[in-house]
Amino acid sequence: MTHKAPPRMSGAERAVVLRRMGDLVAVRKDELLRIEVRDNGKPLPERFWDIEDTAGVSRF
């Protein structure tokens, strides 16, 4: 059996961090889209969906 350390943040604290991350992704969406398209060559419409999904999932 492995021993797990107790979490350093409560679930509510983690939620605040994740929602903020989603907000930051949404604000910098255009920049992130350009970086991702150059990085892996995925078509822009697919990257757009991926970035939108990342923001949405982080806010969920």
Q: Are 59 and 23 in contact (CB under 8 A)?
A: yes
pLDDT in tens, 1-60: 677 877 888 999 999 999 999 999 999 999 988 888 888 888 888 888 888 888 988 888
DSSP secondary-structure letter at 7? P
Domain residues of the chain, as ranges? 11-59
Token pair, residue 22, equals 């989603």
pLDDT at 6: 76
pLDDT at 39: 87
Give the integer Cα–Cα distance in Å for 38 and 29.
14
